[in-house]
Amino acid sequence: MIKLNKKIAAFDLDGTLAESKQHLESDVAELLYLLAKEKIVVIITGGSFEQFKKQFLPYFKPKEDEEELIYKNLILLSTSGSQRYQYDEEIKDWKMTDIEEFPSGIKNEVMKALNEIISSGEYGIAPAIEGDEIIEDRLTQITMSALGQHAPIELKKTWDPNQIKRQEMKKILESELPDVSIIIGGTTSLDILPKGFDKTKGLIRLLDKLGMTIDDMVFVGDAIFPGGNDYSAYEAGIESIKVSGPEESKEVIKKWLK
């Protein structure tokens, strides 16, 4: 893996470019910036666009004379790709350009099922810190973060390191909620989306709009394992590179830039 013979380099965010809910480090930002001079760079996350505004955008700052080129080549996919954001030169800001609706009736069923799992007390789901939430309605996706979004990363990593708890919860929810897709995300999360939707559908919707195919994209993620929220890209035939975290992602990008 020396050359990047693809038009698009797509990356998962949490666990791939940055630690869970932590900000993008300057050296990763610099490498992405250089890559975006040459290729279309897509960042996809299970988080909302608000998370991009906290975690990614303040730390990804192109030089003023290169801003137009870099932002033109940067596409942000939030909530597993069910929302797409692109930079609008006229308003000088990010604008939603695509959305996958989540029926409200199904949302209510999801909320009820998740609350039953939490109240069972079987999985060590602790109350979130003040100002945080265990269950979030992200418009096109419902996410359960077992310790809350802003719990310390050290605590998150020890809660379910082998996904055993979330695999069990996933099986329960799948038996009760046939009209949704349930995906293991991050270190403590379950992402619930409309049936059949996952990161790959978001990526393929983007490819369709750009007039490209899966052969034009390479995807880098840390959760490329059965049940992981990056695994569907591999299953769909998108060339996929599994990494263990930001350090390995940096090495991948450095090799491409050579």
pLDDT, tens digit, 9 for 90 and up, residues 12-45: 999 999 998 899 999 999 999 999 999 999 999 9
User: How does DSSP assign 31-86, residue by residue?
Assistant: HHHHHHTTSEEEEE-SS-HHHHHHHTGGG----GGGHHHHHHTEEEEEGGGTEEEE
Q: Which of 138, 227, 132, 146 is nearest to 187 (CA)?
A: 146
- Residue spans of the domains in the chain: they are 8-100+197-257, 104-194
Give me the mean pLDDT over the 150-169 stretch: 90
Name the token pair of 101: 């609706």
Domain 104-194 sits in CATH at 3.30.1240.20
State which fold the 8-100+197-257 domain adopts: Rossmann fold (3.40.50)
pLDDT, tens digit, 9 for 90 and up, residues 92-136: 999 999 998 888 889 999 999 999 999 898 998 876 666 678 998
In this model, does residue 54 exceed pLDDT 70?
Answer: yes
Please, what is the average pLDDT of the chain?
A: 90
Distance of CA 218 to the CA centre of its chain: 15
Angle at 126 between CA 125 and CA 130, to 5 degrees: 135
3-state secondary structure of 154: helix
pTM comes to: 0.79
User: How does DSSP assign 113-137, residue by residue?
Assistant: HHHHHHHHT-S--PPPPTT--SEEE
